[in-house]
């Protein structure tokens, strides 16, 4: 529902903590909405740390924070102020990368910084630090290509007779 891996890890609902739910309780539905690994934005400090650790693991396994969520992704999040009554404006995920969404979350957190739990901005900053390391792992994405393919591609690029635009560098 939240699109790419980084979106899901940072902002998606991963599990419910229903261990303390009384089956005969009328508030079951509300109790089931408590997320064990809450969204990075509204998670408790402990859950925020768990989610950041999961993000680190996902990145080690090759998750790409630059994958764009489909424009049809209708997920959005907002911050709840400490007083529990006020909220920030929404941020949406559709058409955005995980990095872009984390920066949007950071912007919202800064706007409401006086009214947020202190660990919220810290969790977002840790997540941004983790995804910023992705550019350094490009060697994992390399694949061997035969010389014939490289020569063919070079000849296609060198053929300016069929090009619509030619860029010359000096």
* No. of helices (H) and no. of strands (E), the chain: 6, 2
Phi, psi of 60 (to 5 degrees): -65, -30
pLDDT at 28: 47
Report the predicted TM-score, pTM, of the whole model to 2 decimal places: 0.63
Residue with tokens 């030619």: 166
pLDDT at 127: 92
pLDDT at 13: 57
Distance CA 164, CA 44 (A): 55
Q: Angle at Cα 12 formed by Cα 10 and Cα 59, nearest 5°? A: 40
Q: What is the pLDDT along the chain (170 residues), one digit of tens a residue?
A: 456 788 788 877 555 444 554 555 554 444 444 444 457 777 778 888 888 898 899 888 888 888 888 887 777 777 777 776 777 788 888 888 889 989 988 888 887 767 677 777 888 899 999 998 876 545 555 567 788 887 887 787 777 777 666 666 65
Domain ranges of the chain: 5-144
pLDDT at 112: 75
């Amino acid at each position: 529902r939240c699109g790419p891996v980084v979106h899901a890890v940072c902002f998606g609902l991963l599990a419910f903590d229903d261990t303390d739910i009384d089956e005969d309780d009328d508030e079951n539905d509300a109790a089931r909405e408590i997320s064990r690994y809450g969204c990075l934005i509204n998670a408790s400090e402990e859950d925020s740390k768990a989610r950041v650790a999961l993000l680190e693991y996902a990145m080690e396994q090759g998750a790409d924070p630059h994958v764009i969520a489909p424009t049809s992704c209708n997920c959005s999040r907002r911050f709840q102020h400490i007083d529990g009554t006020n909220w920030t404006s929404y941020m949406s995920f559709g058409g955005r990368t995980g990095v872009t969404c984390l920066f949007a979350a950071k912007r919202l957190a800064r706007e409401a910084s006086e009214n947020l739990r202190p660990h919220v901005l810290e969790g977002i900053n840790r997540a941004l630090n983790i995804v910023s390391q992705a550019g350094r792992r490009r060697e994992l994405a390399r694949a061997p290509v035969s010389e014939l393919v490289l020569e063919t591609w070079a000849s296609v690029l060198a053929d300016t007779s069929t090009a619509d635009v030619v860029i010359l560098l000096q």
